[in-house]
Amino acid sequence: MSAAATETAAVLTQALPYIQRFAGATVVVKYGGSAMDSDHLARFAADIVLMRSVGIRPVVVHGGGPQIGEMMARLGLQPRFVDGLRVTDAETLDIARMVLVGRINRDIVSAINVHGPLAVGVSGEDAGLIQARAENPELGYVGTVEAVNTAIIDRLLDETLIPVVSTIGADATGQALNINADTVAGTLAGAVGAAKAVFLTDVEGLYADPDDPSTLVSTTTASELEEMIATGTLGGGMMPKAEAAIHAVRHGVASAHMVNGTTPHVLLLELFTDAGVGTMVSPDPPPQPPPQQEPSP
């Protein structure tokens, strides 16, 4: 037997206990940003199908901020920002719906379905999945998640299908709202009782010093991560992911992970190897009871 074959067998053996552990578990994966070009998408789709083939129930949540920006530029529109957040007027909302629901969602579904009739595209507007509200009038049609109705996701998972969720929600009047995809992924992970929430980004994970990749934080807890946010340690782009990870682990998700989505097969490395990659966020440990004093003689 060749050395390569022996190495492959060793990797498969290492994966076995993880496959057994997560069989039947739901894993929410947030996919977006620079990891969404065609080569990465094909690898990502194959990894999602492999997860499903070994008994894991994946749910994909995707964003598309860069693609929305590109479409606006092609249409000659100039984005506006308030405190670093994109203003979503009626025209921008139409573009966001077109890009997220009509293009990116369909691309991901099609890439997965190359491997069989497995994926179903869902908008947050479908079946009342994402109920939201607009909080800041200056930002226009930008939403905050109020509630998640998981009925459609549960039904698809029970049919062994793979939901692919675009993050357009709706308020109580039916008005569509654009919502941050990290926020949706963290909220949805808690709502469906996921075992893991995995956030794909374009860096290795959280850095204690945003400018120094050698300061990667391999493991942290929700409270420690809150402290990093409070002290301004995190770079701005990681804030939504950090807040979403905290929400997830405080709502029943066993762990949340921030990993580099541009690394080939990073999902499989995270799920099925001993080493793990990126940053893992765990729930806070339960408080310890105070030591009991010995009664006085």
pLDDT tens for residues 161-192? Answer: 999 999 999 999 999 999 999 999 999 999 99
Of the candidate ranges 45-54, 223-232, 279-288, the one whose mean pLDDT is the lowest: 279-288
**Higher-confidence residue: 239 or 94?**
94
Residues 294 and 297: their CA atoms lie apart, in Å, by: 9
Q: What local confidence, expressed as pLDDT, does residue 1 receive?
A: 55
Of the candidate ranges 45-54, 88-97, 225-234, the one whose mean pLDDT is the lowest: 225-234
Q: What local confidence, expressed as pLDDT, does residue 100 receive?
A: 94
Q: Closest Cα partner for 271 from 10, 28, 8, 6?
A: 28
Q: How many CB atoms lie within 10 A of CB 249?
A: 24
Of the candidate ranges 96-105, 154-163, 235-244, the one whose mean pLDDT is the lowest: 235-244
Q: Cβ(290)–Cβ(296) under 8 Å? A: no
- Whether 7 has a pLDDT exceeding 70, the answer reads no
Q: Is 82 helix (H, G, I), strand (E, B) or coil?
A: strand
- H or E element that contains 202: none
**Higher-confidence residue: 4 or 250?**
250
Of the candidate ranges 44-48, 97-101, 203-207, 236-240, the one whose mean pLDDT is the lowest: 236-240
Q: What local confidence, expressed as pLDDT, does residue 4 receive?
A: 63
Q: What local confidence, expressed as pLDDT, does residue 39 receive?
A: 75
- Sorting pLDDT into bands at 50, 70 and 90, what band is 215? confident
Query: Side-chain half-sphere of 17: how many Cα atoms within 13 Å?
Result: 4
- Sorting pLDDT into bands at 50, 70 and 90, what band is 124? very high
- Percent of the chain residues past pLDDT 90, beyond the cut: 60
Give all domains of the chain, ordered by start, each with its CATH number.
Answer: 21-282 (3.40.1160.10)
Query: Side-chain half-sphere of 124: how many Cα atoms within 13 Å?
Result: 36
Of the candidate ranges 45-54, 149-158, 260-269, 272-281, the one whose mean pLDDT is the lowest: 272-281
- Look up tokens 């301004």; give the residue: 232
Of the candidate ranges 47-61, 86-100, 137-151, 271-285, the one whose mean pLDDT is the lowest: 271-285
User: Residues 148, 63, 264, 238: is their CA dihedral positive or negative?
Assistant: negative
Q: Is 110 helix (H, G, I), strand (E, B) or coil?
A: helix
Calculate mean pLDDT across residues 43-56. Answer: 95
Tokens standing for 114?
A: 């190359």
Q: What local confidence, expressed as pLDDT, does residue 14 receive?
A: 81
Q: Is 133 helix (H, G, I), strand (E, B) or coil?
A: strand
- Note the maximum CA span of the chain: 85
Q: What local confidence, expressed as pLDDT, does residue 47 receive?
A: 95
